[in-house]
């Protein structure tokens, strides 16, 4: 059989002058996009979004879509008048306390439910029910119990964060490969050693995911709860300005809230990445 | 010395079906420093027996004695090597090898040194800080072997340890295992599906049926030690392999 020594010359790739200008621009942009860092992608997308917002806000004179610059001015105005900062500080403290309580008790219950079937059987109906139920319906009850301010805020954050943390931690424990547990037991691990050296490290990725979800839900729950009661906190401010159709201020407060939520989420995410570098998709 | 008398174990059937009798009256005596291969068709009996010796699985009936003492739970006598390696993915290779020692409270410096020695012995010197997933299957199993040897057990339980690697790696690991055991003699109970592997490694081959699990036959291998590289051409090897295949074929029919 004769294998040809020389192969026919490949057909020429069309040079720029032969292709349309449009496709050339697309190729150039694609090349540039691929080159820059992934994190920079996010920043650029964000700035682009703000630019679109600004232009759209100015062009379309909708009351509910003020341009970004107007919102920014309203935000500065609110901060200067001291309205936001006071409520923000109070909310952050409540968030911290409520979240800390949710994490410590949620992880504990999740561990126990994950490891011991009988614990799961006892608590699972309640956890599942509460997870599905909109926590906002409990807000009036909490308000009646804890009154105006700190107590209610902490309780709302706790309720919203707790159950998702339990479920994820439980899932994390369940997810630990049974062969690791068997191996550890063959080598003589006690129950405590099993927890510390196998179950906890193994459950960490899912548990941390639960913590991340928990903080997001905690913030959302707190704001919506405050809006519901409309007597204190940033949620109350949102209702007040919303009622007046002052969309610039509403957006301003919303940006502050979103900013807080994102920062918290980012903090948890950083921790999460640090502790789960060993998982396969962490590459 | 390991004695198994009348071992019986059944697992509950699914959804109201009849229980699966995995071990049905197994009697076996394993001499000290003997290399015994458990060979048989697919089914969980062999692995269950191994886990029973390790103290992981309680028997329904019968008992297992190690050096006269009844097995009631995991003990210091046994270490195990697993088919799926069971290396902790969040720890590095050195920590994995030192794991058994860590569980026994051996101080860090001591156990890390011992782990280092064993890694060198299995040919993985220099890989201490790697993560298991960075290693090939054969290398991971060497880590598993090193971990088992680190606790200096009297008995080595091996559950199809080379089943998950390719044929070439398998041969190399078999040779390395024999070389390691030449230096430190241990009692080995080795579960396998491969007749050639059983004959290459074992002093004795125990043929087991599956579902229910019983000892069908026991064969003294009687091939020279250390095994020459061309052991497969030895007339007794060929004869035994044929015999084993006859038996297995009948069992699988």
pLDDT tens across B117-153, in order? 999 999 999 999 999 999 999 999 999 999 999 999 9
Range of weakest confidence among A80-94, A116-130, B170-184, B199-213: A80-94
Instruction: Look at the domain B2-77+154-252 and name its fold.
Output: Rossmann fold (3.40.50)
Distance of residue A266 Cα from the nearest chain B Cα, in angstroms:
23
Residues of chain A with a CB closer than 8 angstroms to some CB in chain B: 177, 179-180, 182-189, 193, 197-198, 201-202, 204, 278-280
User: Are B86 and A185 a contacting pair at CB < 8 A?
Assistant: no
- Of residues B242 and A61, which shows the higher confidence score? B242
Mean pLDDT of chain B: 92
Q: Is A68 exposed, middle or buried (0-12, 13-18, 19+ CB in 10 A)?
A: buried
- How much is the average pLDDT of B57-79? 92
Distance of residue B107 Cα from the nearest chain A Cα, in angstroms:
15
Domains of chain A: 72-277 (1.10.3720.10)
3-state secondary structure of A139: helix
Phi, psi (5° rounding) for residue B63? -145, 165
Please give chain A's pLDDT, 283 residues, in tens. 565 566 666 666 555 455 567 777 777 777 666 666 666 777 888 889 888 888 888 888 887 888 888 888 988 888 888 878 888 888 888 899 999 999 999 999 999 999 999 999 999 999 999 998 998 888 888 888 988 878 888 999 999 999 999 999 999 999 999 999 999 999 999 999 999 999 999 999 999 999 999 999 999 888 888 888 777 788 888 888 888 888 888 998 888 888 888 888 888 888 888 888 777 654 3
Mutate to test the interface with B, among A188, A207, A281 (most CBs of B within 10 A): A188
Nearest to A183 among B78, B82, B104 (CB): B82
**DSSP string covering A176-237, please?**
S-HHHHHHHHHTT--HHHHIIIIIHHHHHHHHHHHHHHHHHHHHHHHHHHHHHH-SSHHHHH
Helical (H) or strand (E) element with B215: strand B215-220
Provide the pLDDT for residue A13.
57
Instruction: Give contacts of B79 with chain A, Cβ < 8 Å.
Output: 186-187
Provide the pLDDT for residue A282.
41
Helix axes A83-115, A233-243, angle to 10 degrees: 130
B151 inside 8 A of chain A by CB: yes
**Statement: residue B11 has pLDDT above 90:** no
Contact between B173 and B165 under an 8 Å Cβ cutoff? The reply is yes
Is omega for the bond preceding B143 within 30 degrees of 0, making it cis? no
pLDDT tens across B91-126, in order? 999 999 999 999 999 999 999 999 999 999 999 999
- Residues B167, B171, B173, B176: what is their CA dihedral angle, to the nearest 10 degrees? -170
Mutate to test the interface with B, among A175, A182, A183, A272 (most CBs of B within 10 A): A183
Nearest to B151 among A183, A187, A280 (CB): A187
Distance of residue A179 Cα from the nearest chain B Cα, in angstroms:
6
């Amino acid at each position: 059989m004769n294998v040809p020594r020389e192969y026919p010359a490949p057909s020429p790739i069309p040079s720029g002058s032969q292709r349309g200008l449009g496709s050339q621009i697309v190729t150039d942009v694609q090349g540039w996009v691929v080159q820059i860092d992934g994190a920079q992608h996010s920043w650029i997308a964000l700035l682009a979004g703000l630019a679109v917002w600004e232009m759209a806000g100015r062009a379309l004179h909708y009351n509910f879509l003020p341009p970004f610059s107007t919102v920014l001015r309203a935000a500065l105005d609110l901060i200067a008048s001291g309205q936001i900062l006071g409520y923000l500080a109070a909310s952050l403290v409540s968030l911290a306390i409520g979240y800390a309580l949710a994490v410590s008790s949620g992880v504990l219950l999740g561990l126990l439910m994950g490891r011991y079937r009988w614990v799961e059987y006892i608590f699972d109906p309640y956890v599942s029910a509460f997870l599905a139920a909109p926590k906002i319906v409990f807000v009036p009850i909490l308000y009646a119990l804890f009154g105006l301010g700190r107590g209610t805020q902490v309780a709302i954050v706790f309720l919203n964060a707790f159950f998702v943390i339990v479920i994820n931690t439980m899932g994390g424990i369940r997810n630990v490969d049974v062969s690791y547990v068997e191996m550890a037991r063959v080598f003589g691990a006690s129950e405590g050693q099993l927890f510390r050296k196998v179950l906890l490290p193994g459950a960490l990725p899912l548990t941390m995911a639960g913590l991340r979800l928990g903080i997001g839900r905690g913030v959302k729950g707190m704001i919506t709860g405050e809006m519901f009661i409309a007597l204190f906190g940033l949620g109350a401010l949102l209702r007040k300005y919303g009622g007046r159709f002052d969309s610039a201020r509403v957006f301003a407060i919303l940006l502050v809230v979103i900013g807080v939520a994102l920062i918290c989420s980012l903090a948890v995410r950083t921790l999460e990445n640090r502790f789960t570098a060993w998982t396969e998709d962490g590459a | 010395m390991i004695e198994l008398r009348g071992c019986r174990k059944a697992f509950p059937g699914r959804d109201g079906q009849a229980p699966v009798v995995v071990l049905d009256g197994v009697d076996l005596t394993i001499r000290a420093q003997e290399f015994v291969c458990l060979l048989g068709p697919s089914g969980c009996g062999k692995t269950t027996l191994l886990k029973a010796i390790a103290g992981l699985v309680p028997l329904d009936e019968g008992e297992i004695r190690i050096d006269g003492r009844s097995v009631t739970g995991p003990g210091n006598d046994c270490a195990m090597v697993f088919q799926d390696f069971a290396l902790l993915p969040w720890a590095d290779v050195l920590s994995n090898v030192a794991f058994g020692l860590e569980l026994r409270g051996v101080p860090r410096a001591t156990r890390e040194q011992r782990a280092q020695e064993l890694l060198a012995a299995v040919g993985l010197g220099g890989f201490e800080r790697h993560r298991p997933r960075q290693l090939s299957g054969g290398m991971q199993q060497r880590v598993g072997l090193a971990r088992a040897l680190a606790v200096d057990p009297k008995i080595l339980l091996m559950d199809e340890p080379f089943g998950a690697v390719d044929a070439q790696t398998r041969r190399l690991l078999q040779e390395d295992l024999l070389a390691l055991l030449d230096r430190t003699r241990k009692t080995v109970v080795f579960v396998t599906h491969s007749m050639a592997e059983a004959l290459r490694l074992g002093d004795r081959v125990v043929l087991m049926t599956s579902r229910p699990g019983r000892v069908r036959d026991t064969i003294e291998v009687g091939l020279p030690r250390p095994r020459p590289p061309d052991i497969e051409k030895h007339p007794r090897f060929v004869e035994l392999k044929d015999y084993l295949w006859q038996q297995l074929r009948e069992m699988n029919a």
